[in-house]
Chains A and B, each alone.
Chain A
Amino acid sequence: AQSVSQHNHHVILSEAASLELGCNYSYGGTVNLFWYVQYPGQHLQLLLKYFSGDPLVKGIKGFEAEFIKSKFSFNLRKPSVQWSDTAEYFCAVILEYDKIIFGKGTRLHILP
């Protein structure tokens, strides 16, 4: 069955630390990939997306993600996190037939 795995359920970092959140998917066909963020008490917001082309995509607020097809991965990175990055992050995959699958989310807590 198709699935999206986010390796870390809860991550705690200090401000200015570097961040990498893992995302792997299980599907052999063509996919579109997304990272969404949900700040406390707010709705889902799109951070970045990959459809085709350069596998390194840049999103809002200094986030970027790299699509590695051979590893079925789409890890999210940020060189230096801020306290305001405290949120829950979701990786999502759109399969060829429009089915959209989300990971279980990673709660990121940044210590000031």
Chain B
Amino acid sequence: DGGITQSPKYLFRKEGQNVTLSCEQNLNHDAMYWYRQDPGQGLRLIYYSQIVNDFQKGDIAEGYSVSREKKESFPLTVTSAQKNPTAFYLCASSTGGSGNTIYFGEGSWLTVV
């Protein structure tokens, strides 16, 4: 079945460690996104990528990094510079262009202790 796979679903890390969240899609979508969902804050855009080897900062990119070496993969690294990393992270993809629809992964819960 086509879809978006995020892993791991739950992750615990110690403060000061970098952690990478995986996002893979087999929908042949050009555009991919990372959001962070916090209570009362909605979904805030961290980074997005319209095409392979290109990505743009979203509204809260500080403390995060991404890469887009392959069309189907858009990993997110939460670095030790992120001041409040504990959150629910959602990956999404879309076909891009007009008439596009957004597809979401199931999310990853990151807890930093």
Q: Indicate with 1 or 0, residue by residue over B85-113, a CB within 8 angstroms of chain A CB atoms.
A: 00000101010111111101011000000
A102→B98 contact, CB < 8 A: no
Contact across chains for B43 and A98 when beta carbons are under 8 A apart:
no
B interface size (C-beta, 8 A): 27
Any chain B CB within 8 A of the CB of A90? yes
Provided the pairs A92-B102, A98-B31, A98-B50 are in contact, do residues A104 and B42 lie with their beta carbons within 8 angstroms?
yes
Residues of A within 8 A of B58 (CB): 99
Q: Could you give, for residues 96-112 of chain A, a 1 whenever the CB lies within 8 Å of some chain B CB and a 0 otherwise? A: 01111111110000000
Per-residue interface assignment for chain A, residues 74 to 104, with 1 indicating a CB less than 8 Å from any chain B CB and 0 otherwise:
0000000000000000101010011111111
Inter-subunit contact B35/A99 (CB<8 Å): no
In B30-86, the 8 Å CB interface with A consists of 31, 33, 35, 40-45, 48, 50, 56, 58-59
Judge whether A51 and B48 touch: CB under 8 Å.
Answer: no
Contacts of A34 in B (CB 8 A): 102
A17 at interface, CB cutoff 8 A: no
Asked whether, in the complex, the Cβ of A100 is within 8 Å of the Cβ of B48, the reply is yes
Q: How distant is the Cα of A108 from the Cα of B13 in the complex, in angstroms?
A: 34
Contacting B at CB under 8 A, from A1-29, are 6, 9
- Give the chain A neighbours of B45 by CB distance below 8 A: 99-102
Q: Which of A32, A49, A100, A104 is B41 in contact with, Cβ under 8 Å?
A: A104
- The reply to whether B99 and A32 form a contact with Cβ atoms under 8 Å apart is yes
Q: Are A102 and B35 in contact (CB under 8 A)?
A: yes
C-alpha spacing A44/B48, complex, angstroms: 19
Residue A46 at the chain B interface, CB threshold 8 Å:
yes
Chain B residues, Cβ within 8 Å of A44: 90, 104
Min CB distance, B99 to chain A, in Å? 5
B102 and A43: CB pair below 8 A? no
Q: Footprint of B on A, CB under 8 Å?
A: 6, 9, 30, 32, 34, 43-44, 46, 49, 51-52, 90, 92, 94, 97-105
